[in-house]
Structures are given as C-alpha cells and as structure tokens.
Amino acid sequence: MSTTQTMRWPRVGWATKLGAPMPLGARLRPSYALPRAGHGWMALCLRLAVSACSDEAASGSATDTVDAKVDAAADASADAASAHPSLAWALDTAGPHGVGYRKLEITYEAGGGLGARKIPLHLFYPTATTQGSHPPPHGGLVVDQTSWVDAPAAPPDDGKKWPVMVYSHGHQGFAGSSAFLAWHFASHGWVVAAPDHVGNLLSDAILPRPTWMYYVRNLDVGAALDRVASLGPADGFGGGKADTGRVLLTGHSFGAHTCWAAAGASFDVKLMEADCKEDGGRIAKGDCSAEMMALMAAGLRDARIVAAVPLAGAMHRGVMGEKGHETASIPVLAITGTKDDVGGQGQFDSCVGCDLTWIDLLDGTHQSFAVTCSQPGAKDKTCPDIKRYTLAMARRHVLEDASVKGLLEGEGKSDVVVKFVQRKP
C-alpha cells in the first residue's frame, strides 16, 4: 500500500446541511460549448512560441523538455479523441448535445424477504431536440429548463454505444436532486440512470430507516442497469445500445453508502445483529431477519460498476464496521466540501489498502453537490470542480481516457480544491 498526499490544508469553519428548500430564481438558459480546437494545432503553436525564444536551443535544454511534455500531452489527447470522440471535449463545460429526459417504471424481485419492488427510473441522455416540453421540477425543488421530455436520443458519439452513469440520491432525496450533474453528463453523450429509492424519498421516507434500505438501494441500481441495457427504438433509443458493461456510479450523501457497497465493501453482520438487539442503534431494534442478514453477508458488489464517486458522504461504519473497506475492489473518488463535515478525514485515514482519492472543495456545503448546483444560474464556486472531476473519473475508468490521468493525480487543481490526497493498494 502506498499513500500519496498532494496537499493537506486545514478545514475552515463548518456549516450545517441545507434543511429547507431554497429559492429557485430565474429560469436556466444553458449554452452548450462546441468541441475545443484540435490539440495538435495548439501544441504546434506552443512549440513555435517556445522555439522563438532562442535561435539555437541546445540538446537537453529547457526548450527540449517543454517540447517533450507538449508532444506527450498532444499525443495523449489525440489518442483519446481517436478512441472516443467525446474525449476531446472540455471536462467542465457542457458538451455539444442537448439533454433528453424520460421517466420509466421498473419492477423487480428484491430478495431479502421484500418480494416485488416497483420504482420510477429517470433517464437523462443526449438529444438533438431543441423544442418540446420540460419536466416538472424534480422532487418539487429543482427547476429543469434544460431537459426535453421524451425527446429521441441522439446516436452514440462513437456510432455504437452510449456510456452510462448511474446516480443514487441521498436519504430523503430524489432522483433529480443532482440534476446539474445529469445534465452535464448527458450533454457529453452519456446516458444517466437515476432510480428513485422508494421508501427513502423526500416524499415517502420511512423513519426510522429500515434495515433493508441499506441493501435495497443497490438492488435498485442493479435493476436500473438491467433496464438501461434493454433500451431500444421503442424507448426512443435507436441507432445504438447503452453500454452497461462498464459503468460509473455516483451517489449523494446516503448514496455514498450505495457507492461503497457496489464497490465491494462488506457488511459487518455480527455488528449489525448486535445493534439490532439494542434501542437507538444504527439498525432498528428487531429489524434484522435472517434473509436480510444473509443477503448483506453475501455482499452487493456489482461487476458492471468499474468506478465510484461518492459525493458529500462516507462509508457507513455502523453497518460496514472497521474493516468493511478491505473488500472494496474498484477505484473510488470521494468529493466533499469544507463546510460539510461528513467524515471525509476519518474515512481517508482508516481506508488503508483502498484505491481512494479524496478531494475537499472550499466552502462546499452538503447541498452544493445536489440542489444548490442544480439551481437556475447557480453561483456556487464548487459546481465546476464537481462536474470536472466526476466526468474525468468516468472518462478514465469507463472510456479509458489517458488524457485525464494527470488531473486525477492532482495536476491542474483550481483554487477551490483545498485538499487532494490519495491512497493506493
């Protein structure tokens, strides 16, 4: 195991989580950026500028070093673009696509004694449509003037498959709570699947939280991926297939638990069973059937998920124990805000042997990762970095984009990134 620490700065003052709806303000009027100019031309210009500083650059000079770095960066960008067209687009600005939205309903057998479970599934995806109707406010809070309801999907950018990201909302949240992230991915050609975790929504949350909610959220994610894999012309998805063989999972708040469970982190069943006998514990007293415990003991690793980005949340040690992280088997990028102490430092310190990167963003709040950045005209300074790093993680591990490797190792940080630390197995 090795640990790389690029920067360790102290946190600033904490603030409480957002507890009430925020004013929605004016309508969002997005503009979509066109792909950047070719990296090869940019590299050539830089090389000419450097060469002009000296008539005779000696071998091994600073000019040669700059040339080599420019060539390497240009080659990486060219290779990435040739592999998948979307890799040439800037990470933190919207891609060239419009955004379509479609709401489906899926039913599956949940297991653990729950039987049949019906949940809504919200899809955001690329489209060429520029007119029609917009969805009603997501969760009654997030105004969406970006998405077009039931618009036909644009063909995959590589002519074959749409890359896929799944989003798991937080406790008492909703599928569109981080709509800004879904819009961003869809504009870059991704299909985003966001299930409503029924029983854990803003509108229907069961309190205290039932034990089965610790595993059924992952079953929702799996059922969502099964449905996305079957998308076809009847669903408005002609000309390609969704690639559910390599998927990024993101999750906000309690959705971070969903991310870790999907990554392969294990449940401490003995701890849970002991907790189940007491009042006031993580597990509701008496709510731990043998079927539930067996399902969690088996683990919830989903091999289709190749990387995870938990946002404003941490592993639930109350159900995963002190060693639950040891079985996690995929790269995890945890992003938090300095005004929202969700246990990021403790998670990083204890996660020995993990493939974990932790980024802490200056003045980020709990809802910076959800409702705040999804507001029309959002001014939260963390929004661009949330989009930049989440999409970079997706491109690196789903689309095998080598050009973002440096960013994901701490290069090119903005002033908003006050902590960037890594652990490697």
* DSSP letter string, 335-349: EEETT--SSHHHHHH
Q: Is the pLDDT of residue 254 over 60?
A: yes
Q: What is the pLDDT of residue 82?
A: 57
pLDDT band (50, 70, 90) for residue 40: very low
- Sequence letter at residue 147: S
Q: Which residues contact 421 (CB under 8 A, 6 or more apart)?
A: 3, 4, 5, 6, 7, 8, 348, 357, 358
Q: Residue 99's closest CA among 43, 29, 182?
A: 182
- Enumerate the β-bridge partners of residue 5: 421
What the block records as the tokens of 175 is 């599928």
pLDDT band (50, 70, 90) for residue 282: confident
Q: Are 317 and 349 in contact (CB under 8 A)?
A: no
Q: Is the pLDDT of residue 353 over 60?
A: yes
pLDDT band (50, 70, 90) for residue 32: very low
Tens-digit pLDDT profile for residues 41-74: 333 333 333 333 333 333 344 445 445 544 554 5
Q: What is the pLDDT of residue 22?
A: 37
For the sheet with 116-127, list strands across it: 2-8, 417-424, 356-361, 332-337, 305-311, 241-252, 161-168, 191-195, 116-127, 98-109, 147-149
d(CA 4, CA 194): 33
Q: What is the mean pLDDT of residues 76-86?
A: 64
| DSSP conformational letter for 159 | S
Q: Is the pLDDT of residue 380 over 50?
A: yes
Q: What is the pLDDT of residue 56?
A: 34
- What burial letters (b/e) apply to 75-109, b meaning 16+ CB within 10 Å? ebbbebbeebbbbbbebbbbbbbbbbbbebebebe
pLDDT band (50, 70, 90) for residue 79: low
d(CA 259, CA 128): 31
Q: What is the pLDDT of residue 24?
A: 33
Q: Is the pLDDT of residue 260 over 80?
A: yes
Q: Are 332 and 400 in contact (CB under 8 A)?
A: no
Q: What is the mean pLDDT of residues 240-252?
A: 98
- Percent of the chain clearing pLDDT 90 (strictly above): 76
Pick the residue with more confidence: 91 or 19?
A: 91
Q: What is the mean pLDDT of residues 310-339?
A: 96
Q: Is the pLDDT of residue 185 over 70?
A: yes
Find the DSSP H helices in 241-343. 255-263, 269-275, 290-298, 317-320
The CA-CA-CA angle for residues 255, 259, 261, to 5°, reads 110
- Enumerate the β-bridge partners of residue 249: 166, 308
What the block records as the tokens of 78 is 């060219």
Q: What is the pLDDT of residue 64?
A: 52
Q: What is the mean pLDDT of residues 398-417?
A: 97
Q: What is the pLDDT of residue 6?
A: 40
pLDDT band (50, 70, 90) for residue 388: very high
d(CA 259, CA 332): 8
Q: Is the pLDDT of residue 166 over 50?
A: yes
Q: Is the pLDDT of residue 109 over 50?
A: yes
Q: Is the pLDDT of residue 3 over 60?
A: no
Q: Is the pLDDT of residue 229 over 50?
A: yes
User: Distances in Å between the alpha carbon of 90 and those of 232, 280, 341, 388?
Assistant: 29, 48, 30, 9
pLDDT band (50, 70, 90) for residue 113: confident
Q: What is the pLDDT of residue 280?
A: 73
Q: What is the mean pLDDT of residues 381-394?
A: 98
CB neighbours (10 Å) of residue 18? 15
d(CA 356, CA 13): 25
Q: What is the pLDDT of residue 357?
A: 98
Q: Which residues contact 132 (CB under 8 A, 6 or more apart)?
A: 148, 149, 150, 151
What the block records as the tokens of 374 is 């999804």
pLDDT band (50, 70, 90) for residue 108: very high
d(CA 167, CA 221): 8
